[in-house]
Chains A and B, each alone.
Chain A
Amino acid sequence: MPQSLVKPSSRISVVAGRAHRRLGTLGMVCVTIIAVIVLTTLLAPLIAPYGPYEGSVADRHLAPGVNHLLGTDQSGRDVLSRVIWGARSSLLGPLIVIVVTAVLATAIALTAAWYGGRVDSFLGRVLDVLFAFPNILLAILAIAIFGPSLLTASLALAIGYVPYSARVIRSVALRERNLPYIAAARMQGIYGFVITVRHILPNVWPQILTGMTINFGYAMIELAALSFLGLGVQPPNADWGLMVSSGQSSLLQGYPEQSVAAGLAIVVTVAAFGYIGERLGGRRAAGRVR
């Protein structure tokens, strides 16, 4: 039977089977959770029962019920809807962070690994200095200078994440770079840039991906913390970190719905990304033990 006649569904099941072996059952659960969250985010207008800003103070602190599955907040807005809408900024920030981190870290790492020598040690020094800065402090400083915004916070965090990612990628790239086939390619007169992109990049790709997965969770927590402090996403926007914060007084008055729902959304997302990251990155490390 020609390849093209294979039903797409069976091809999906092959991919799923491979992913299952790699991630384990719990890992597949995590992938599913993330897929659901992402879908929810994209389809928010269709899924969310109410708009993010809809509601009147007359309906404040309604208990969970048929009309409001997770109740309402102190302004009478539907908590479930705000959690769904809030997923947008809550996921967007970390997404910016991991993409920017991956691009910068990869560029620096591959440059350092390819040129070696002075370039390598200079870049290493720069990374060392950057490493000395606590991530979240870098973000706070940037916010103090440029004013509170999700983009500022995300970019500053991304810069803070670069040193670690770059080091990991560099070490793998360096190992690859020193293999004989790279030397052979160079002797054939292929440009360094071409070799790097065509041969080294594909080999460090797993590291980049693992790093992105792990960083996503950290970035989500730190950005949520900044929103919690009022230095990230600004009210009345729906954002998980911000919702935990603005639900604080309600929580202490005995209406925990808003803070708890938003907080749990963060916990579940971060845990899912964290577990997948650990499975992806840990396999290698686990292989070392016996």
Chain B
Amino acid sequence: MRYVISRLWSLCLVFVVSSFVVFSGMYLVPGSPENFLVQGRTVSPEVLASIRVQYSLDDPFLTRYWNWLTSAVQGDFGRSLTTRQDVSNLLAARLPTTLFLTLYAGVLVVVFGIGLGVIAGTREGVFEKIVVFGSNLGFAVPTFFAALLLMAVFGGALGWFPVTGSGSGFGGRLFHLTLPAVALSLPSLAVVARITRTSVREESGSDHVLMAVARGVPRRLVLWRHTVRNSLLPVTTVIGTHLAALLASAFVIEYAFTLDGIGALLVDAVHRQDFAVVQAIALILVVAFGLINLAVDLLYAVIDPRIRLGKAA
């Protein structure tokens, strides 16, 4: 419990500091904040006034930050600087695609990463060599390049999958997001498969596994209960950080497949120099990233009794 509280506390600190970085970054640019926010666009005096209110530019600096943060916590990210749309509404409309894509890719990473790793770790031969080679190469393939290749082969040449749009309904989304999810998952999948394989190999040579064999425990149990189960403990942390990373790097894939997720919105906003939207998305991603990592740490503590119960005297 102490552990949980200390982790929560440091996460809060991280949120405060990173929100401050996200907020105050714009003041690093020389020139007035209005100029930065407007970026040479011609705007009406009313719009300029509302931007001044949105960023409370008439208040002292810390008050500005406080106002911005408190409204952000309440879900109010102000209005887009270019289209004047409500940022929260924009995000709400875009979030489902990103979440679906990330979860889909996450499932692929878990199922195929662990699956291939376990198979490669427990038997030797051609299959293992293929997995080792594939995982070494897999992490070197940039997601956007994989995206283009998948698009060209399965979308263009074979015509099995759509290459744009996010689809509607669960089935439609699943269908539309298959290629993006595969592209997004590949590097992480490769890393997870490789680490799983190494971990399984190490575990299968460990004393307690050898002892289980020597005691005549059935093969199936030695494999699953003692070897695979134990070897997956360190893998969970790796998977966790990769799930968080999937979320943070989904925008490249969303952009490549022109999906309507918040990542594509982020890229768009950077291109259009719409800093209000950039800030909102950056903040949300940092929070999500932090929460996922926290969840993984806690999960690890739950599944490993050595951490859960601590050392007894």
Contacts and interface: CB of A to CB of B under 8 A. Distances in A.
Q: Do A and B come into direct contact in the complex, CB within 8 Å? A: yes
Interface of A: 125, 128-129, 132-134, 136-137, 140-146, 148, 217, 221, 224-225, 228-231, 241, 244-245, 247-248, 251-252, 254, 256, 259-260, 263, 266-268, 270-271, 274-275, 289-290
A128 B25 CA distance: 19
A150 to B, nearest CB: 15
A228 B252 contact: yes
B249 A134 contact: yes
Contacts of A247: 148
B88 interface: no
B119 interface: no
- In the A-B complex, list the 4 residue pairs whose CB atoms are closest, starting with the nearest: A134-B248, A271-B140, A263-B145, A270-B140
Given A129-B18, A137-B285, A140-B270, A267 B137 contact: yes
Interface string B278-291: 10001001100110
Given A132-B290, A266-B145, A271-B136, A144 B285 contact: no
A267 B249 CA distance: 18
Main secondary structure of the interface of B (DSSP, over half): helix
B2 interface: no
Given A144-B278, A225-B252, A228-B252, A137 B286 contact: yes
A245 B148 CA distance: 9
Q: Interface centre among B143, B151, B152, B205, by most A CB within 10 Å?
A: B152
A133 B286 contact: yes
B273 interface: yes
Interface string B13-41: 11001100110011011000000100000
A244 B148 contact: yes
Contact of B144 (A142, A217, A225): A225
B14 A229 contact: no
Given A141-B282, A251-B151, A266-B145, 6 more contacts: A133-B18, A140-B267, A141-B22, A267-B145, A271-B140, A289-B201
B26 A145 contact: yes
Interface in B99-140: 136-137, 139-140
B245 interface: yes
B171 to A, nearest CB: 25
A258 B152 CA distance: 13
B266 A140 contact: yes
Interface of B: 10-11, 13-14, 17-18, 21-22, 25-26, 28-29, 36, 136-137, 139-145, 148-149, 151-152, 155-156, 163, 187, 201-202, 205, 244-245, 248-249, 251-252, 255-256, 266-267, 269-271, 273, 275, 278, 282, 285-286, 289-290, 293
Contacts of A128: 10, 14
Contacts of B248: 134, 136-137
Contacts of A289: 201-202, 205
Contacts, number: 138
Contacts of B36: 145
B145 to A, nearest CB: 4
Contact of A229 (B139, B252, B290): B252
A176 B114 CA distance: 37
A207 to B, nearest CB: 20
A247 to B, nearest CB: 8
A224 B267 CA distance: 15
A274 B163 contact: no
A129 B137 contact: no
14 contacts: A129-B18, A132-B11, A134-B249, A134-B286, A136-B249, A137-B286, A148-B270, A221-B187, A229-B267, A252-B152, A259-B145, A263-B148, A267-B145, A268-B140
A137 B156 CA distance: 31
A141 B142 contact: no
B9 to A, nearest CB: 12
A136 B267 CA distance: 12
Contact of A141 (B11, B163, B278): B278
A128 B10 CA distance: 9
A140 B282 contact: yes
Contact of A244 (B144, B290, B293): B144
A134 B285 contact: yes
A248 B12 CA distance: 42
A286 to B, nearest CB: 9
B286 A231 contact: no
A130 to B, nearest CB: 9
A259 B22 CA distance: 34
Nearest to A143: B270
B267 A275 contact: no
B234 to A, nearest CB: 12
Given A128-B10, A225-B144, A245-B144, A252 B149 contact: no
